[in-house]
Amino acid sequence: MNKQKISLIVYDFDGTLVDTLFDIADAVNLSLKELGLRTLDRETIRKYVGKGVERLMAQSIDDTDCTDLSLAVELFRKNYSKNLMNHTRFYPFGREILDHFHDKKQAICSNKPEDFVRRILESLKSLDRFDAILGGDSVKSKKPDPEGLLHLLDRFQCSPEMAVLVGDSPVDIETGKRAGVYTCVVNYGFGDPKEIASAGPDCSIDHLSELKDLFY
């Protein structure tokens, strides 16, 4: 892929820009314990991240007698809210890449509740780096529905050819393709490598710093 001129970079959050796995997994397991259920290892929970809180807890309580998903979600939100920043950090080069592209519009489009995204970025002293933040509850539909991404393109009057979605999963790739933007996947995130490969992103990177070599 030749170096591509862009005006808008849209980042997924969990598994892409910020490593949230330990804190999410701990909150899931605290919630499962309160429900009297078995806990899960982090690698299992990793596979469930990225499609929203409801899906995360639905998969985490699967194959159990517990059918009260709304209670499970409520417990997760409570436990995660208290433990947002125990282990959560930017991935390597996260801050640097936000600084590098300071002259572009930069936004978050995540399936994570917007409040959690904002609080984490505030703790990381990086909230002001973004021109817009969309969570899974900011618009009607979650990714892979392109509603949020299309909203950002419209908000910044940006044509799809001038935007890139950076994510870590087939959900992000599908979202980007449906909106007509470039798709760049990170190889260190939560997504399954085989599923990512079959989803066919426009490009992939091992470190966020590589975005500098692909886009300007």
What string of DSSP letters covers 151-209? HHHHHTT--GGGEEEEESSHHHHHHHHHHT-EEEEETTSSS-HHHHHHH--SEEESSGG
Give the residue from 30, 58, 82 where a domain finishes: 82
Instruction: Give residue for tokens 């994510």.
Output: 167
The pLDDT of residue 125 is 97
Q: Which pLDDT value is given to residue 65?
A: 63
Look up the domain containing 128 and give its range: 8-19+88-214
Q: Are 147 and 120 found together in one domain?
A: yes
Q: What is the pLDDT of residue 159?
A: 98
Residue 3 lies in a domain: no
Let me know if residue 1 belongs to a domain. Answer: no
What per-residue confidence (pLDDT) applies to 66?
Answer: 60
Q: Residue 128 has what DSSP assignment?
A: G
pLDDT at 62: 82
Identify whether residues 112 and 189 lie together within a single domain.
yes
Report the domain count for the chain: 2
Give the helix/strand (H/E) hosting 21.
Answer: helix 21-34
**C-alpha angle 177/147/193, rounded to 5°?**
40
Residues 94 and 31 in one domain: no
**H/E run at residue 153:** helix 147-155
Answer with the one of 32, 62, 82 that is the final residue of a domain: 82
Instruction: Encode pLDDT of 158-180 as tens digits.
Output: 999 999 999 999 999 999 999 99
In which residue ranges of the chain is pLDDT below 50? none
- Answer yes or no: do 12 and 35 share one domain: no
Does 161 lie in the same domain as 74? no
Q: What is the pTM of this model?
A: 0.95
Of 67, 82, 97, the position where a domain reaches its end is: 82
pLDDT of residue 138: 97
Contact 145, 179 (CB under 8 A): no
pLDDT for 115: 97
Catalytic residue among 12, 19, 23, 168: 12
Assess whether 167 and 72 both reside in one domain. Answer: no
Strand blocks (E) in 12-88: 18-19
User: Is 12 marked active-site?
Assistant: yes
Q: Give residue 155's Cα distance to chain centre.
A: 20
CATH of the domain at 120: 3.40.50.1000
pLDDT of residue 64: 66
How far does CA 172 lie from the centroid of its chain? 8
Residue 43 lies in a domain: yes
**45 domain residue, yes or no:** yes
CB-side neighbour CA atoms (13 Å) of 43: 1
The token pair at 141 is 């539909």
Cis peptide bond prior to 144, omega within 30° of 0: yes
Residues 59 and 104 in one domain: no
